[in-house]
Amino acid sequence: MFGDLARNRARTQEAIRAAADAGARLVVLPELCTTGYAFADESQVRELGEPADGPTVTGWRELAAALGLVIVGGFCECDHGGLPHNSAAIIDADGALTAYRKAHLWDREQLLFVAGDEPAPVVATAGGRVGVAVCYDAFFPEAMRSLALAGADLIAVPMNSPVIEPPGRTRPLPVEIVLALAAANANRVFVAQADRIGAERGIEWAGASVICDPDGRLLAGPVADLERPAMLTATCDLDAARDKRLGARNDVFADRRLDLYRDAATTNQTKETVN
């Protein structure tokens, strides 16, 4: 429920415990999962936000240490300087915390949050090398590739992905799932993304939660019933993500032709061909 911090924190902790009981060693929670997404204005962000050492992340850290699992979850951060961020916490099984601030802000997020200016991290955890991208971050192939190049075995994607009209534009799967499958296959990594379901303040969520393997296959998801909470689980052999080969002759990293690629960081221009 939007703005009900105590209830939402309790529900995330219930979900974490349920996942641990199901054998999970890594748990991914949605974006902004303790506040909700549909803020009216920046003042509401500041009212509901909290620092990375606030009660939401502190509770997750205590659970991670108690249950011996890795948690990645999205939260509304107001840093100690008062700036609002759409952030994700990556918490190791001993409670160690790495925080990431979403770099690519979607639509009205640009009116509410300050974009992060640090690269998304890859954290060596008890559950493997985990990278993080928050929702719209994952739409950028450069962002996902950079995490893979930095050694991620699995990219965790907390997200709140709204349904955009017209519905069914990428049947049979939402584009958010297509992108996850493509990123997993192109980079030979696992991708685990956790999306919202239901509705909030007039926004319908896409329910694009999935777990993908390095071959671009769905290991779990998508959620069948978008009106009821669900938990997706899968067994991921993370060693498979450290083998970038495609058969006997190809390797998704070694086969790159860096001498032919434009520097995506410095140019948006394309070469025009005149016949």
The predicted-structure confidence for 117-134, as pLDDT tens digits, reads as follows 999 999 999 999 999 999
- Whether 142 is a known active-site residue: answer no
pLDDT of residue 166: 61
pLDDT of residue 274: 42
In a domain? residue 150: yes
* pTM confidence score: 0.94
Q: What is the 3-state secondary structure (H, E, C) of 138-165?
A: HHCHHHHHHHHHCCCCEEEEECCCECCC
In a domain? residue 62: yes
Nearest to 191 by CA among 136, 148, 150: 148
Mean pLDDT of all residues in 174-194: 97
In a domain? residue 256: no
Mean pLDDT of all residues in 30-52: 97
The predicted-structure confidence for 52-109, as pLDDT tens digits, reads as follows 999 999 999 999 999 999 999 999 999 999 999 999 999 999 999 999 999 999 999 9
pLDDT of residue 264: 61
d(CA 259, CA 264): 13
In a domain? residue 263: no
Rounded to the nearest integer, the mean pLDDT of the chain is: 93
Percent of the chain with pLDDT over 90: 85
Which residue out of 76, 77, 78, 102 is catalytically annotated? 102
In a domain? residue 78: yes
d(CA 187, CA 109): 28
- Whether 102 is a known active-site residue: answer yes
Q: Which stretch of DSSP H or E encloses residue 46?
A: helix 42-48
Mean pLDDT of all residues in 8-21: 98
- Whether 135 is a known active-site residue: answer yes
CATH number at residue 79: 3.60.110.10
In a domain? residue 194: yes
Which residue out of 33, 78, 135, 212 is catalytically annotated? 135
Domain count of the fold of the chain: 1
In a domain? residue 259: no
In a domain? residue 112: yes
Q: Which residue has the tokens 């107001």?
A: 78
| Domain interval for residue 156 | 5-251
Neighbours of 105 (CB within 10 A): 20
The answer to whether the Cα torsion of 80, 81, 82, 84 is positive or negative is: negative
